[in-house]
Amino acid sequence: MNRFISTARQRLPGLVITLMLGILASALAACAHAPSENYKLPHADVPETAAPEGRYVQIHGTRIHYVEQGKGDPILFIHGNPTSSYLWRNIMPTVSGQGRAIAIDLAGMGRSGKSNTGYRYKDHYKYLEGFIEELKLTNITFVVHDWGAALGFDYASRHPERVKRLAFMEGVLPPIFPQPSFEAMGPEMGGMFRAFKDPVQGRRMVIVNHMFVEQILPNFVNRPLGSVAMAEYRRPYVDSADREPLLAWPREVPIAGEPGDVVERMNAIRQFMVSTNKPVLLLYAEPGVLVPPAVVSWYRQNIPRIETAFVGQGLHFIQEDNPRAIGLAISDWMRRN
């Protein structure tokens, strides 16, 4: 693991890591104060109609929800924390002309049922693997975000014969993760993640104060989210007892060698990234959070068949800022690859 961290830091200058963490820290710090819309862009034309109910499939004893449109080879959309398949509502119609667009709700999130094993990374991966097997998906194009990016790249590293391409944006991925220590993340970010992982503080922040949906989500979108969108994102977590998945995710962020199994999977993902011959598309915005423009160069230098597409201004949930640009970039890339 130490060799991996050392190599990543040699290839990604400390200044770039500091920049990324600074952007993330600033956005998180804003969450601690009364919300202000002064920094937001003018309202973009981003539809926020309520999400229709989709289909369900039973995976490992849990009812997993998904929506789909189009025909052909599968294009599998995977969200992260704290969103759902609703995040992809304005991108799927643009991409569905290229295949069968499918957006899953991870266990305990969106309209999916509760997990009967827990909400660790390994549990979500198990459900994803079971979902793909149940729907008999092959020749998959992944479109992934946040923790969904880790899940998609991980699946591709273990089942390369079933995956055709990968498109990702703002992913919880190497080279940013794993982090060698809390101290390496700086006092604000290190302190934030120490608090998430603390058994008392973490529960107060995420379960009681509902921080991920009420503060982080709207502050990480570069426009004011409307009432319909916020209602959709709140809906799975009205009761505090339903917020366990939201707390599990930040505790899975690999820092200082823990959790060891997540560090291991991040190492495997990195090895896959630098060696795969599959077409890969990185979609990024400015300033971004996990993938600011300065980090794009690492991906360009290390993933053999990567293309990059700049989609405009945005923070972390760039699907809520630039869905049309994202959809057109993915569709064009698929057509050419």
Tokens of 124: 């979500």
Tokens of 142: 């992944």
Give the active site residue among 68, 145, 316, 321.
316
Residue position matching structure tokens 């923790």: 147
Tokens of 214: 């009420």
By the 10 Å C-beta count (0-12 exposed, 13-18 middle, 19+ buried), 39 is classed as exposed
Give the active site residue among 170, 252, 320, 321.
170
Nearest to 121 by CA among 269, 262, 270: 262
Tokens of 297: 């160069």
By the 10 Å C-beta count (0-12 exposed, 13-18 middle, 19+ buried), 163 is classed as buried
Q: How many CB atoms lie within 10 A of CB 185?
A: 24
- Non-local CB neighbours of 144 within 8 Å, separated by 6+ positions: 77, 78, 151, 152, 153, 166, 167, 168, 169, 171
Give the active site residue among 105, 146, 252, 321.
146
Is 53 known to be catalytic?
no
Tokens of 317: 């949930």
Is 146 known to be catalytic?
yes
Give me the active site residues, please: 146, 170, 316
